[in-house]
C-alpha cells in the first residue's frame, strides 16, 4: 500500500495484535488502494476483536467483496457512473 499511514498502522498492529482500530484504519487504506482481499482480512480481524466496531467493519467488508466481484472495467452501479 502506498499510503504513508499504512506503515504506521502495520507497526501498531505488530506491537498489539488486539488493536482493532488499527486494523480498521489499515483496512480502509487498503480498500482505497483497491487491495480488497487484504482489506477484507483486516475487516475480519476488526469484527473478531471488537464488537463496537463490528458494524462498520461489516459494511466495509461487504463493499470490498462487491468490488472484488465486479469486472475491472464494469460501470459503477452504486454511483451511476460509467
Q: Does the pLDDT value for residue 18 go beyond 90? A: yes
**Model confidence, pTM:** 0.82
Helix and strand element counts for the chain (H, E): 4, 0
The set of cell numbers assigned to 67 is: 468490488
> What is the reported pLDDT for 76?
57
> What is the reported pLDDT for 5?
87
Q: Are 44 and 15 a contacting pair, CB within 8 Å?
A: no
Confidence band for 71, pLDDT divided at 50, 70 and 90? confident
Neighbouring C-beta atoms of residue 60, cutoff 10 Å:
19
Average pLDDT over residues 63-67: 96
Which residue shows C-alpha cell 459503477? 76
CA-to-CA dists, residue 22 to 7, 37, 49, 72, 79, angstroms: 11, 17, 11, 29, 29
> What is the reported pLDDT for 74?
65
Amino acid at each position: 500500500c502506498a499510503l504513508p499511514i499504512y506503515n504506521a498502522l502495520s507497526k501498531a498492529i505488530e506491537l498489539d495484535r488486539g488493536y482493532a482500530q488499527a486494523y480498521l484504519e489499515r483496512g480502509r487504506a487498503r480498500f482505497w488502494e483497491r487491495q480488497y482481499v487484504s482489506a477484507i482480512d483486516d475487516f475480519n480481524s476488526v469484527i473478531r476483536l471488537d464488537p463496537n466496531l463490528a458494524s462498520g467493519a461489516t459494511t466495509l467488508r461487504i463493499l470490498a467483496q462487491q468490488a472484488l466481484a465486479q469486472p475491472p472495467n464494469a460501470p459503477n452501479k452504486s454511483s451511476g457512473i460509467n
